[in-house]
Structure 1
Amino acid sequence: MSEARAQPRGLRDVFVAFTRLSLMGFGGVLPIAQRELVDRLGWLTAAEFAELLSVGQVLPGPNVVNLSLMVGDRWFGLRGALTAVAGMLVVPMALVLALAALYQGFADQPAVVGAVRGMGAVSAGLIVAMGLKLLPTLARNPLGRALWVPLAALTLLLVGMLRWPLVAVLPLVGVVGVALAWWRLGRGVGR
């Protein structure tokens, strides 16, 4: 911090900047955070941003929330850290709660039912697309096709057809998968 650079004038600037960040990025705020904090506001250099981000990645919680906490702390200590996190969370949470309340009032309307069903289909499609995109990485999986395919089929059967809750299926299938991978790696298979 040897060279003079822009800095927030007060806690209000910190709150507004991080609220703006949280509202601009849906599902991926980090590129926007870099552009805002480094390029537009000039509160951090690119190197400082990368350093804070790398620290934020090893801390528990969302990276951008960790980043906001550290940036707020840098300028205003604990008050700044709490203000930055509030900026990241308060307005988006209020919007989600307002949308939930609005949904509650219109949940039985055919158009709303259809829209929610459509969003569910889009979400399922995105998950399938991500799975297909990651499929080539399974070639290096220590389980080998002979074991990961049945585990995936078991998961599909339990969740998709028998309607077991995912929160119950993942630990069950996950523990079996981890145990099998540990066993195979211990035998030197799949390396």
Structure 2
Amino acid sequence: MDPESPRPGLAELFAGFFAAGLSGFGGVLPFARRIMVERRGWLTGAEFADLFSLCQFLPGPNVVNLAAAFGARQRGPKGAVVAIAGLLAAPVVIVIALGAVYERIGGIPLVHHALLGLAAGAAGLFAAAALRIAWPVLHRPARAAIVGLAFVLFGVLHLALPVVIGIATPISVLLAWRFRA
């Protein structure tokens, strides 16, 4: 962040993260970056990448961690709470409203079939995103082996994520060292 630019106040934090939460159907991160870096100038692109990288190692949703970390950095614990509240306010209200609507009309066969179609489309989008993430890794056999191992441990054997990480990480390091993957 430019040392000469003023720190955002609590209202600005709420408004910025509220806009990101409201815009980000299917994924808030690109909108959060656009708001924080391009529109408001709160962070440079490199600072955003550094902060987001840190947040990926924390438990919980990455973008919520990002809101908390940035809010806390700007305005302490109140800033963290306000940024998280801004990020989650619109989605929570929308989900509650949609839940109420679904409770009233969810039993209608047409609505049920429409939701089945929507679920299929969402699964397709998820699969496409997973392939995009995995594609660069799959070109090297050692890396592809780790992807396969993680898939089997988590997706087939249903092991807990910390167990999968505990198994896959040392094997990954060994393979990277051995094959310079």
**TM-score (normalised: structure 1):** 0.67
> What amino acid maps onto 1:103 in structure 2?
Y
Query: Which residues in structure 2 correspond to 1:119-130 (within 5 Å)?
Result: 119-129=118-128
Name the residue aligned to 2:92.
93
What is the aligned partner in structure 1 of residue 115 from structure 2?
116
- 1:130 deviation in Å? 5.4
Q: Which has the larger radius of gyration?
A: 1
2:22 is aligned with 1:23: yes
What's the CA shift string for 1:104-126, capped at 9, x where partnerless? 10012232112112112223433
1:1-191 alignment, distance < 5 Å: 3-8=3-8, 10-129=9-128, 134=134, 137=138, 140=141, 141-142=144-145, 170-171=158-159
CA distance in 2, matches of 1:131, 1:16: 31
CA contact (8 A) 1:7 1:42 kept: no
Q: Which runs of 4+ in 1 moved over 6 A?
A: none
Cα contact 2:18–2:87 (8 A) shared by 1: yes
Query: Relative to 1, partners in 2 of residues 1:129 and 1:54: Cα closer, same or farther, differing over 3 Å?
Result: closer
**Distance change >3 Å, CA 80–CA 129, structure 1 → 2:** closer
- The CA distance in 2 between the partners of 1:119 and 1:35, in whole Å, is 28
**Following TM superposition, by how much is the alpha carbon of 1:67 offset from its aligned partner in structure 2, in angstroms?**
1.2
Select between 42-51 and 97-106 the one with higher mean Cα deviation: 42-51
2:57 & 2:131 partners in 1: Cα distance?
28
Aligned alpha-carbon RMSD (Å):
3.8
Structure 1: gaps spanning 5 or more residues: 156-168
